[in-house]
Amino acid sequence: MPLEIDVLTLFPPMVEGPIRESIPARIQEQGLAAIRVHDLRRWGLGRHRTVDDYTYGGGAGMVLRADVVAAALADLRRPDSVVILLDPAGEVFRQSVAHALAGSSHLVFLCPRYEGVDDRVRAMCDREISIGDYVLTGGELAALVVIDAVIRLLPGAIDDASTAEESFAAGLLEYPQYTRPAEFDGVSVPHVLVSGHHEQVRQWRLRESLRRTLERRPDLLEGRALTKEEAKLLAEVRSEPRDP
Ligand code: SAM
């Protein structure tokens, strides 16, 4: 059964373009995901298909109406749906959330614009997701980020080995990778990677993964249970003399 995705937006081409291209397109062609994009104006009110209105209490900008969203969800929501509101006040999107969503059968993304949504819309949604602490002009790019991260995790979408070892998969950043030439601009590929010694390569990768995480995202290590091997390698990394 493909993962079914419905996207509600005022700018369908903004979403349709990227999902027609590259890996997302292939994943759909393989039948692993089915993505449908809907113009919110289909549920708009009156002759002008109005979807938003001024904010009570005054202030700049327009707010997406709760009754319009309710009508759209009445048509799209199913018992197995997870309805997602893209919103700067939502939980910050992480790989663990992508994994959770990849296990669903139906996702509905609501992409507001302008000043956002009537607050009563939040009660109609199952999750609120932010893609980071900055403000975009609309939810479309945020929805595309989430969709991209989710569909590449579907079984068979891409080489399982790639997703098993990449950044965040095990709560760590990925180790450094190299390709040809073996020497470039006076910098050589670490010898162990061309040694053909699989066990040493595995251990080097784990150590460098821990090192990179410690240097760049120490927050990821806080509260993470380490295996015996990880704890030993991390202790080694910590005890190494630091570059001046
Ligand atoms: N007035 C809102 C606020 O201060 O939180 C910002 C509205 S923003 C200009 C318009 C829409 O873009 C939002 O309703 C949301 O759908 C989307 N958006 C903006 N930043 C986002 C983020 N970091 N993550 C997810 N969606 C975002």
The 3-state DSSP class for residue 149 equals helix
Domain count, the chain: 2
Q: Are residues 111 and 142 in the same domain?
A: yes
Which of 86, 146, 148 has the most ligand 1 atoms within 8 A of CB, as the residue to mutate? 86
Residue 88 φ/ψ region, left for φ over 0, alpha for ψ in the -120 to 50 degree band, beta for the rest: alpha
pLDDT of residue 164: 80
Which CATH number do you get for residue 180? 1.10.1270.20
| Candidate of 9, 97, 133, 135 to mutate for ligand 1, largest count of ligand atoms within 8 Å of Cβ | 135
Q: State how far the Cα of 11 lies from the Cα of 114, in Å rounded to an integer.
A: 12
The average confidence (pLDDT) of the chain is 96
List beta partners, residue 45.
Answer: 50
Residues lining ligand 1, judged by CB closer than 6 Å?
86-89, 111-113, 115-116, 130-132, 134-139, 142
Same domain, 85 and 25: yes
Ligand 1 centre to CA of 85 (Å) is 10
My answer on whether 172 and 55 are in the same domain is no
**pLDDT at site 78:** 98
Q: Are residues 29 and 134 in the same domain?
A: yes
Residues 193 and 132 in one domain: no
Q: Do 53 and 170 reside in the same domain of the chain? A: no
Mean pLDDT along residues 9-15: 98
For position 223, what pLDDT does the model report?
Answer: 86
Distance CA 102, CA 95 (A): 10
Q: What SS3 class is residue 151?
A: helix
Considering the entire predicted model, what is its pTM? 0.94
At 166 the pLDDT is 82
